[in-house]
Each structure stands twice: as structure tokens, then as C-alpha cells.
Amino acid sequence: MFDLFATLPDTAMLSRMQFAFTISYHIIFPTITIGLSLYLAFMEGMWLKTKNLAYLQQVKFWMKPFAITFGMGVVSGVVLSYEFGTNFSKFSEIVGPVLSPLLAYEVLTAFFLEAGFLGIMLFGWNRVTPKVHFAATCIVALGTVSSSFWILAANSWMHTPAGYEIVNGQFQVTSWLEVIFNPSFPYRLAHMLLATFLSASLLFAGVNAYYLLKGTHKEFAKIGFSTAMFAILILAPVQILVGDFHGLNVAHHQPVKLAAMEGIWKTEKGAALRLFAIPDQENETNHFELSIPKAASFLITHDVDGEIAGLDQVEEKDRPQVAVVFTAFRIMLGLGGLMLLLGVAGAVARYKKRLFDFKPLLYLSVAMIPAGVIATLAGWYVVEVGRQPWLVQGLVRTADVVSPLPAETVAFTLGLFVIVYTSLFFTYIYFIRKLVLKGPPSLDEVQASLMNPALEDNDDLPATLNPAQVDIGYGQELSEYLQSKDKQGKDKQPQDKGEK
């Protein structure tokens, strides 16, 4: 009888594939929520400062996508912790004394901050004073950033381990400062945070460009689009600069990964920058190569004749999958270039006072909505696949910590994850699309919802994120607050620099 599992990869590869799929799915949501939480805090702060309801309108609209995305991130993140035990059982035994406390710190700081103040942020309107609500929003934003701090500290240590000693086959900490602030951590943290800010900015730009193209919610869209385009103009070149520093760090600490990123099989001086190629791992060569002579050496060593170590410096068993790393790196770079182009195009359109009606810019903004997330995923494939076959760089192999499971079992669970996660993702897209198509509340609705929480429209949220809204006594206080300080800004829209 035909055996469905006859050609399955081994357990180690299937476990890696499952973890790669689940963590790729998970990273989509923090990539959006970190930048989105900071945007919410900024806009709410602007409302408190100016008393202009147009800023609060931004908060009211974007808080719903934030709630849904945050919930998806939490649920998908919990699964990853269980996979450490189910698929990589020796992982905790070997590196637990180093990584377990870091993950615990993430729970004790970031998770508790988010869990403690998320309810106030989402459902605290009219139940706490405006300043207390703003504080809750800021604390949630701080929680999302601090979560990335601890997770990236743990991940970076696996790439550039420091502050440890090995006792009886187990890692023991000798310096927590060296563990946390390991050589690659500052670059990885900065690179990832900028990626989240860019991803959120591209989302804002795309959604608001869609409204401008449709001719709906124009005043709302102008504020969001102008803010997003300004952010992209600043963030894109900074991200490219930080990425360059990160690449130099990789060249110093992980030369094999760099060789895979650049498709360099043999150590060479004056190495060319390969713009395109199809790496052939078996024959150790590149097909259909398109390159710029000596450019790679110049960018990496700042010397056109500088030497770059190739993949020939290590045995075949110690090399990553070059085609994956090489291709993902170019996807990330290509999208980064498009982000820079979008930011510059926005600046030119603003200068010519065409920011809100230059259709090529608006269409490009809509098309670029997923670019930040895709670039982030591609970057993580470069980072993680490029580290293989090592779990802890140069010290512990991934294959050595894999649980002794039948390949059929892992294949079955991987299939279930693909089915369930795909269904959840399309459900997520359905709710986000529904919110975007409905659009933001009007300024009158925003004003009315502040006076009476029963008028807060949460019908578009899933039931688990839509508890009954009951006024418990702060409505009158907030009404007096608004009446005394919001008269001048009630019906006035903030001017955009492009309209001055």
C-alpha cells in the first residue's frame, strides 16, 4: 500500500519547519502592534494637548485594529513556549539557566504591564479621567517595546553568546549584563524596532491613501497620511543605516552567515556585490549571476580590495541553506529600497502641495501596506536560517536538542497548525477589512461617545473584545472637562504641513 509518509523529511527538519511556520505567523502581529501602540499614545497625547477631536478620532479608529491584532499576537505567542518542550526537549535543559530567566523577565515586566492596563486602554473611556487613560495607553506601548527588549536579548544571545560558562554540559551565567547586552543585541533591537515602526507607518499610509482615493473620510485620512509619510521619510533611511551597522556586526561575529547572504562560496578579495543569482549549494556556485565588481568588499570592509571570508572556510555540514538566506536578504533589501522611494516621493509631493491628490503616490502607498511585514519576515529568515545548523552559535547544534518524536507525528501537528492558523489569519483579515471599509467614527460620534459610553460603537469587534459598556459615573466629570477646554478645537481640523 502506498505510504503517505515514505518521503517525509526527518524529525529535526520537520520540527524546524513547524517552529519556523508558527513563529513566522506570530511575528506578523507584534510587528504591527508595537508601532501602532506608539501611534495611539502619540495621537492621544496630541488630543490632550490641543483638545482637538480630530486626534481623538484617530485613536478611536485605530484602537480596534490594535485590539484584534494584539489578541492574535498573544494567542499565537503562547504556542511557541510549548514548542520548546514538545519539539526541542533538550533546549531548556542545556540553555535554560540563561534563557529561562530572560523569558520570565518578559512576563514579569512586559506582559504584566500590558495585562494590567490594556483593559483601561480599550474600555476605560469615561471610567477614568483622560490623563489616566492616556497613562494607560503609554504603559501599554511601553509594555510592547519592553517585550521586544527581552525577547531580542534572548535571541541575540543565541547568535553571539557572552557572559556564560559551561558546567556539566549546561550553560551557567557569569554576568547578566554580558548576557543581555551581548555583541549583536543593540543592533538587532534597533533594527527590529525600526522595522515595527515602518510596518505600522506603511499600514497607516496605505489605509489613509485608500480613503483619499475613494474620496471618503478625507479630513481623517489627511492627518493619518501626512503623519505616516513623514514617519516613513525619517525611518526608512535610518533603518538602512542601522541595517548597515548590523551587517558589519554579522561580518565580525558570524562570517559564514554573511557569506551566505552575499553568495560568496570562496574567500576572495575585491568581492563583487551580487544583485541577483541562483545559488547552487551542491556545486558551490551561483547561476545567472548579476553583480557589481568589488562593491561587496567596499560596503563590508570599506576597502574595494578588502577580503571577505567565503563558505569554504567551514565544512559543508556547518553551512546554512544558502539559497534561502541569499534570496530572503535581497527581498528585504528590495522592499527597504521601495520604502525609501515612497518616503522621498511623499516629500516631493508635499513640497509641491500634491500630497493628498497625487494618485501614483496613493496607489503605491496602498500596494506597500504588507511591505513592512514581508520585509520583517524576510529579515528573520536571514537571521535564523543563516545561523543554522547552530542553536547557540558555534556551541550547540539544533539537531542535538530535537525531541525523539516520530516524523509522522510532527508532520501531523505541522499540518494542523497550517490549517488552523490559516483559518485564523483569514478571520483576522475579515475583521480588519470590515473595520477599514466602515471607516472612522465622525467627530460628532466621537464627542457623543465621550459623553455617554453606551454610544461607543464596538459592534465590529469580536465578542471576546466587546464587553458591555456601562457608565459608572465619570461621564459628567468628562463632560465638564470637555466643555471647559474643548470649545476652540471642537470643530477645527489640524493643518497639515503640505497644505500651508
Residue 363 lies in a domain: yes
Phi, psi (5° rounding) for residue 277? -170, 160
Question: What confidence tens digit (pLDDT) does each residue in 88-108 have?
Answer: 888 888 998 899 899 888 888
Number of domains within the chain: 1
Residue 447 lies in a domain: yes
- Whether 402 maps to a domain, the answer reads yes
Is residue 445 helix, strand or coil?
helix
Residues with Cβ within 8 Å of residue 184, at least 6 apart in sequence: 156, 159, 160, 246, 249, 250, 253
Ranges of residues in the chain whose predicted pLDDT is under 50: 1-2, 454-455, 463-478, 481, 488, 491, 494, 496-500
Mean pLDDT computed over every residue of the chain: 86
Grid coordinates of 245: 551597522
- What is the per-residue pLDDT for 231? 95
Q: Which domain holds residue 210?
A: 11-267+309-499
**Alpha carbon distance 363, 365 (integer Å):** 5
The 10s digit of each residue's pLDDT in 380-411 is 999 999 999 999 998 989 888 888 888 899 99
| Residue 366 located in a structural domain | yes
Confirm whether 287 is domain-assigned.
no
pLDDT of residue 6: 56
276 within domain boundaries: no
Q: How far apart are the first and last CA of the chain?
A: 76
Q: Is 295 inside a domain boundary?
A: no
Q: Please check whether residue 303 lies inside any domain of the structure.
A: no
